[in-house]
């Protein structure tokens, strides 16, 4: 809860994660998104700012729909929070909106669903463009096989087999609302929405789906991996560069601003809507 005399401010944030060692500030002083954004906001507030985020992203992972909040005594207009932060931020982090929130709002604990997109560039030749914003797979991928396999993960399951060893989540049981696999020219997009995600969960799912897409494993293999509840049965963890946190959902009472669901280079693909 925000203390007396403080306002709680929520922000929409997008960033390219390639240069950063993840979202979370680290004691060893390496470059992180959190510390960079806190430093910029502290200049606007003229006092230290400490952020809470909706979902901590790993090194190399991007976001178009990250939501954060902080408490402050500073009185600034919403435009000042957005423009002031952006003036003090590097080119690969941007604040897209700001809103004053009730004291009981919490960017992480009030979220009811999160949505990620994993973008694969599927071509024999590596891409010269977006080379840190998509994952390149040179082997031909069968999208229909991948989409068929994805259906095994829908609903409520124990996702231990897709969980990193260092995951700190209290429970591996999550509800997968949708997992769509679509092709757009040379791009393949995994669009995943769930109640919450485990550490490396999307990247581990992507690794399994790409293995099935190459024909190396049968479609039913993903069901065997899921039911094993053992990480070692699930193959490699896919590269972080193609992963984007694109949306965090909250109950209607909070009425957060809505923007397009990114990343920006996919916004023309109407098949991804919904």
User: How many beta carbons lie within 10 A of that of residue 236, not counting itself?
Assistant: 12
Q: Is the domain covering 7-109 a CATH 3.30.70.580 domain?
A: yes
Residue 116 known to bind ligand: yes
pLDDT digits (tens, 9 = 90+) for 68-106: 999 999 999 999 999 999 999 999 999 999 999 999 999
Q: How far is the C-alpha of 95 from the C-alpha of 115, rounded, in Å?
A: 19
- 123 catalytic, yes or no? no
Of all helices (H) and strands (E), which one includes residue 65?
Answer: strand 62-72
Please say whether the beta carbons of 240 and 58 come within 8 A.
yes
pLDDT digits (tens, 9 = 90+) for 153-203: 999 999 989 988 777 678 889 999 999 999 999 999 999 999 999 889 999
Q: Which residues pair with 98 in a beta bridge?
A: 11
Can you give the C-alpha Rg of the chain in angstroms? 19
CATH T-level topology, domain 111-244:
Alpha-Beta Plaits (3.30.70)
pLDDT digits (tens, 9 = 90+) for 207-260: 999 999 999 999 999 999 999 988 878 778 899 999 999 999 999 999 999 888
Q: Where are the domains of the chain?
A: 7-109, 111-244
pTM of the model: 0.94
Q: Which residues pair with 190 in a beta bridge?
A: 118, 181
Catalytic residue among 58, 71, 142, 191: 58
Please say whether the beta carbons of 126 and 136 come within 8 A.
yes
Q: Assess whether the region 7-109 and the region 111-244 belong to the same CATH fold.
A: yes
């Amino acid at each position: 809860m925000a203390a007396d005399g403080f306002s709680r401010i929520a922000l929409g944030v997008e960033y390219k994660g390639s240069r950063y060692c993840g979202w979370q500030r680290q004691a060893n002083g390496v470059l992180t998104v959190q510390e960079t954004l806190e430093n910029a906001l502290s200049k606007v507030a003229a006092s230290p700012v400490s952020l809470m985020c909706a979902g901590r992203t790993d090194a190399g992972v991007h976001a178009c729909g990250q939501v954060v909040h902080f408490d402050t005594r500073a009185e600034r207009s919403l435009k000042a929070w957005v423009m002031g932060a952006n003036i003090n931020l590097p080119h690969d982090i941007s604040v897209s909106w700001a809103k004053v929130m009730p004291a009981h709002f919490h960017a992480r604990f009030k979220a009811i669903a999160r949505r990620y997109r994993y973008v694969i560039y599927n071509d024999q030749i590596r891409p010269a463009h977006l080379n840190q914003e998509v994952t390149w797979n040179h082997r031909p991928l069968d999208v229909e096989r991948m989409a068929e396999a994805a259906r095994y993960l829908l609903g409520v399951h124990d996702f231990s087999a897709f969980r990193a060893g260092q995951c700190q989540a209290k429970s591996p049981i999550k509800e997968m609302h949708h997992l769509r696999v679509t092709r757009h020219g040379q791009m393949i997009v995994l669009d995943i929405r769930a109640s919450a995600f485990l550490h490396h969960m999307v990247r581990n799912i992507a690794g399994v789906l790409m293995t099935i897409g190459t024909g190396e494993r049968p479609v039913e293999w993903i069901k065997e991996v899921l039911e094993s509840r053992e990480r070692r049965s699930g193959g490699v963890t896919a590269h972080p560069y193609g992963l984007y946190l694109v949306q965090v959902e909250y109950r209607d009472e909070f009425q957060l601003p809505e923007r397009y669901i990114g990343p920006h280079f996919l916004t023309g693909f109407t098949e991804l809507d919904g």
